[in-house]
Structure 1
Amino acid sequence: MRVAMFGYQTWGHRTLQALLKTEHEVVLVVTHPKSEHAYEKIWDDSVADLAAEHGVPVLLRDRPDDEELMSRLKEAEPDLIVANNWRTWIPPEIFTLPRHGTLNVHDSLLPAYAGFSPIIWALINDEKEVGVTAHMMNEELDAGDIVVQRAVPVGPADTATDLFHRTVELIDPIVHESLDFIAAGRTDFTPQDRSKACFFHKRSIEDSRIDWHWPAEDIERFVRAQSDPYPNAFTHHKGKRLRVLKASVSKGVYGGTPGRVFIREGDGVVIVAGADARRGRAHGLVIERVRTDDGSDLPATEYFRTMGGYLTDRP
């Protein structure tokens, strides 16, 4: 088959790598220009550079909505388009152009976690599995019939970074298996149960702000979901932003006001947490490592030299 690809960052890069290892011919690559968005400067292996290294024509576009792109696609005569981490809507005149349509590769277990940053949202929400889904594209975002889907378990100490590395390794076998099915003429793919669908927005700095009214268990996952190199979970102390790099749920039960810097426990400092903290029935969050606004990483016991005061969501 002749294959065109739409993709960006490491997800697109791994997809193009997989395609280049198949028996199929990659005839055109469309990717985005480099971005300064915080979540687009990480995992930023260049799709354009990989395509150029292999002599594949490349188009740089923010959106696939111009006449030149459409003309180049028609000239390339692809039998299939494969997309992964294309950041804007692909219109029907493009995704229906090839005779086999368009295969989209998405890093969640669809129909759940369609949209953006699915691994981060899934970890925040205490999902027990994450994964990758290859599906045929239709008019609704991330909603087409599933061709191949694979999952990996989420461990109790896993970070978003751990899960990124595990799921990105699924791209190669999923792409190969999907293309084998499509080239063989298979169309008996699995419709998604749209009653179980949910769509998540692109993350911004506001989404990393800690709410001390959440239970400590939720905040601990929130911290793991925003591990380096992602923008970290943060709070404010004495008017300055403080990033939380490592935390755990306290062994003891502590009461008081959410956000109170309370007492040392183990290798960290307990922060009172939970909407019902005043009842003294909940665990706190043990902060173990922090990063100050000047970029210094410190053990929490070194940063919080005295107890008392509050961590707040605003300066």
Structure 2
Amino acid sequence: MNAVVFAYHDVGVRCLKVLLARGVRVALVVTHEDSATENIWFNSVAGVCREYGIPYITPEDPKSPQLFTQVQAAQPDFIFSFYYRHMLPVNLLALAKHGAYNMHGSLLPKYRGRVPINWAVLHGETETGATLHEMAAKPDAGAIVAQTAVPILPDDTAFEVFGKVVVAAEQTLWRVLPLILAGRTPKLPNDLSKGSYFGGRKPEDGRIDWKKPAQHVHNLVRTVAPPYPGAFEEIAGDKITLVRTRLVPASARPTLERSHGAQDKFFEGGRLYARCGDGNYLQILGIQINDQDASLNNYLKYMAV
């Protein structure tokens, strides 16, 4: 079988390798140029193509007539999209003789749209996963082909969850690809009324509001912890980024309040604590100051500001 693959990021790398391992002929890969303004902490689809001798292109516009012509010339039986960052137009999808499929980083129909792993962590989900689905005119709206769940532990960062979802995506595609190639593709309902849709996130969305409950602030820190831009506050002209936090058990609250009253931030036994809007506490386990790693003791000079 002949495939055209739109791919980027670690999911793109691993799923492209699954296709090759299953004997799919990849006639063309469409990927992105890495941006000089982005922190590139993930593996390169273009690098895989160079390693395996697969032709690849990096067009800026997936709706361009030139791209349509190139995909058409490849005569794809299938089109796959693995973490490619643009929606593909319907006329392009129609070039696939036997179907066009996308790998999405959530358990659809939940968390359709952009950065689904980050949104799941922010909302305190205990589970997410990877879903292979048919591509349609609307984002993440086609029939579900297969999905694999992974746990989100209470202190997992979005980066750690992303690593699990990469494995889940690889397992999902490996498991269902023989059925797809045999013309027996499963098609399960993707009921959008039971799901949710979210847009992209900006660095400013990581600004901390200490009036929020401790669980909310903890989830925000986990959501945007490095390599993402980080949860931050600004004090005396400096940017303070929380790298990692932990919820303090409610049973410890009376002891902390007897020692420190209603202080917003304080050291106790060499540990740095912050009081949130609901009266509960976070232990701050790591910080950066102006995007540079710093000792927790460096926070002392900000506590009187």
In the superposition, the TM-score normalised over structure 2's length comes to: 0.90
> Is the Cα contact below 8 Å between 2:148 and 2:171 reproduced in 1?
no
Give the helix-richer structure, 1 or 2: 2
Residue 304 of structure 1: aligned partner: 300
Q: Secondary structure at the match of 2:11?
A: helix
Task: Tell me the CA shift for residue 189 of structure 1.
Answer: 0.8
Residue 204 of structure 2: aligned partner: 206
Task: Tell me the CA shift for residue 16 of structure 1.
Answer: 1.2
Q: Which amino acid aligns with 1:273?
A: C
Q: Supply the distance in 1 between the matched residues of 2:213 and 2:44 (Cα, whole angstroms).
A: 40
Cα 1:73–1:117 change in 2 (3 A) is same
Residue 19 of structure 2: aligned partner: 19
> Is the Cα contact below 8 Å between 2:126 and 2:154 reproduced in 1?
no
> Is the Cα contact below 8 Å between 1:42 and 1:230 reproduced in 2?
no
> Is the Cα contact below 8 Å between 2:214 and 2:280 reproduced in 1?
yes
Task: Tell me the CA shift for residue 306 of structure 1.
Answer: 7.5
Matches within 5 A, 1:231-310: 231-250=229-248, 251-252=252-253, 261-274=264-277, 277=278, 282-293=279-290, 295-299=292-296, 301-304=297-300, 307-309=303-305
Residue 8 of structure 1: aligned partner: 8
Cα 1:148–1:37 change in 2 (3 A) is farther
Q: Which amino acid aligns with 1:297?
A: A
Matches within 5 A, 1:104-143: 104-143=102-141
Residue 32 of structure 2: aligned partner: 32
Which whole-Å deviations, capped at 9, do the CAs of 1:32-57 have from their partners, x for residues lacking one?
1112454xx33432212211221211
Residue 47 of structure 1: aligned partner: 45
Residue 59 of structure 1: aligned partner: 57
Q: Secondary structure at the match of 1:252?
A: helix
Gapped regions of structure 2 (runs ≥ 5): none
Q: Supply the distance in 1 between the matched residues of 2:264 and 2:237 (Cα, whole angstroms).
A: 14
Task: Tell me the CA shift for residue 149 of structure 1.
Answer: 0.3
> Is the Cα contact below 8 Å between 2:34 and 2:40 reproduced in 1?
no
Q: Secondary structure at the match of 2:48?
A: helix
Residue 86 of structure 1: aligned partner: 84
Q: Which amino acid aligns with 1:164?
A: F
Cα 1:260–1:88 change in 2 (3 A) is farther
> Is the Cα contact below 8 Å between 2:203 and 2:230 reproduced in 1?
no
Report the aligned-residue RMSD.
Answer: 2.1
Aligned pair count reads 297
Q: Supply the distance in 1 between the matched residues of 2:270 and 2:5 (Cα, whole angstroms).
A: 49
Which whole-Å deviations, capped at 9, do the CAs of 1:88-142 have from their partners, x for residues lacking one?
1200011121111211001111111112211111111110101000001111101
Q: Secondary structure at the match of 1:112?
A: coil
Q: Supply the distance in 1 between the matched residues of 2:291 and 2:46 (Cα, whole angstroms).
A: 34
> Is the Cα contact below 8 Å between 1:14 and 1:168 reproduced in 2?
yes
> Is the Cα contact below 8 Å between 1:265 and 1:286 reproduced in 2?
no
Cα 1:286–1:308 change in 2 (3 A) is farther
Cα 1:262–1:33 change in 2 (3 A) is closer
Quick one: which of 73, 76, 79 aligns to 1:75?
73
> Is the Cα contact below 8 Å between 1:51 and 1:57 reproduced in 2?
yes
Task: Tell me the CA shift for residue 19 of structure 1.
Answer: 1.3
Task: Tell me the CA shift for residue 221 of structure 1.
Answer: 1.9
Q: Secondary structure at the match of 2:76?
A: coil
> Is the Cα contact below 8 Å between 1:63 and 1:89 reproduced in 2?
no
Cα 1:49–1:263 change in 2 (3 A) is closer
Task: Tell me the CA shift for residue 182 of structure 1.
Answer: 1.3
Cα 1:284–1:30 change in 2 (3 A) is same
